[in-house]
Structure 1
Amino acid sequence: MADSSLWITHGSRRMYESPWVNVDLDDVEVPGGPRFEHHVLRFPRASVGTVVVDNDRVLLLWRHRFAIDRWGWEIPAGWSDEGEDPVEAASREVLEETGYRVSAVELLTTYAPMAGISSQIYRVFVATGATLVGEPEAGEADRVEWVPLAEVPKLMTSGQVPDGPSVTALGFYLATR
């Protein structure tokens, strides 16, 4: 028996494809409602982000995002490579973006950041045992800093953390730890 509360997808057309993102036009029907075309962003790789903590501090990157033309604080984040374990991807992204190697990584939460328009699934981890082993890769951040956790809510409410996945990760961490 079909669930009458589910949207029905009658088909999908790929409008744009790249290694970063695909844009599809799906032919959908709302339960008891109209049938129409709906844009869907589909990401070919899983996303990971990591809240790196050391006692009462969190490791953040200060970077500019050209799409919104804003500077802001972010957690280390990126994609899992094909076949890569998400924990390994999270550790790799921390190292690439900050120059720190972490010794312990655990899942904090998994969520869909834009569930109404995107298939993206985002895994957020907490990492500890950070040891500086080198420099961040070029272009990853203007600077990398340990920020007191007590300052994070102020940074978030003042708009200094404009990145949605970073807001979610830091807020979830502060609410649950």
Structure 2
Amino acid sequence: MTDQQSRRAARLAAYDRLREQRPQLFENPPGAAFEIVVDPVLQQQVADDSAAKLGRAGLPEENGDIGVVYADRYLLLVRDAVRFRDGGLGVYIRQMSPHEGTGAAVLPLLPDGRILLVSHFRHATRRWHWEIPRGFAEPGADGATTAAREVEEEVGAPAGEVVFLGALDTDTGAEVGGDEIYLAYLSQVPAERPAGATEEGIDQFVTVTPDEFTQMIRDGVLGDAFTLAAYAFALARGLWPKAA
């Protein structure tokens, strides 16, 4: 067996295990615009065609493989062979969590109606963002558990009541599943950041009034998608705090 054959076989074996573990991610509902193809012969054909196209573009042919093409503790990248509506074959790539569990973002609300925001340095954008706490799920954790944990880890205060606001499909073009958005009532803001917050890139807290929060949106200071979603959900559910 060649190196290419071994690599492709390993990626497809991981793909087949994922299909067994999470079959809902591979369903073809009636009328699906892109049908996932699992026939090994067709998968091989799609991989060959994709590798050839990439090679002509000066890109690594291995990027044309079908299956689980990347995996770590936080992320899986999966390339599916698909059949389009015109009958042609091609590929789509998807990003997903390596385990089942629900990520969450949580809007921390103080008794006087102020909202707590954290200043978080994000590697992807290489800059600081004002945002609400959020994080990946631990294996098997539901959204409420994740929300409470993130408040504890990023703010250093136990969440009181945790209220579900809504489910957010983060990126329907590339990402499988999404995250849940919660509101958490805090009794106070700790005087110091919790241990580990600095290592995560959190250097500062701020508490803002509802009016100040909306002004940050208008000024372009606050643009994090999870934070904006929490604002929209809270408004729609009548849970956004009233301005003083």
Under TM normalisation by the shorter chain, which class is it?
A: 0.7 to 0.9
Contact 2:102 2:146 in 1 (8 A): no
**Residue 82 of structure 1: aligned partner:** 139
What stretches of structure 2 of length at least 5 have no aligned partner? 1-28, 39-65, 239-244
The change in CA–CA distance for 1:111 and 1:15 in structure 2 (over 3 A counts) is: same
Q: Which moved more, 1:75-84 or 1:16-25?
A: 75-84
**Residue 7 of structure 1: aligned partner:** 34
Q: Cα RMSD between the aligned structures?
A: 2.1
What stretches of structure 1 of length at least 5 have no aligned partner? none
Q: What is the Cα deviation at residue 6 of structure 1?
A: 4.5
- Give percent identity, aligned residues only: 24
Q: Equivalent of 1:167, from 228, 231, 235?
A: 228
Matched, 1:135 2:193: yes
**Residue 153 of structure 1: aligned partner:** 214
Contact 2:34 2:82 in 1 (8 A): yes
Contact 1:4 1:31 in 2 (8 A): no
Q: Which moved more, 1:127-136 or 1:78-87?
A: 127-136
Higher strand share: 1
Normalising by structure 1, report the TM-score. 0.87
Q: How does 1:1-177 map to 2 (within 5 A)?
A: 3-11=30-38, 13-32=67-86, 34-44=88-98, 45-54=101-110, 55-132=112-189, 135-136=193-194, 137-139=196-198, 140=200, 141-177=202-238
Q: What is the Cα deviation at residue 135 of structure 1?
A: 3.0
In the comparison of the two structures, how many residue pairs are matched? 176
Q: What is the Cα deviation at residue 144 of structure 1?
A: 1.2
Q: Which runs of 4+ in 1 moved over 4 A?
A: none
Q: Which moved more, 1:63-72 or 1:25-34?
A: 25-34
Normalising by structure 2, report the TM-score. 0.65
The structure number with the bigger radius of gyration is 2
Q: Which has the higher contact order (CA 8 A, sep 6+)?
A: 1
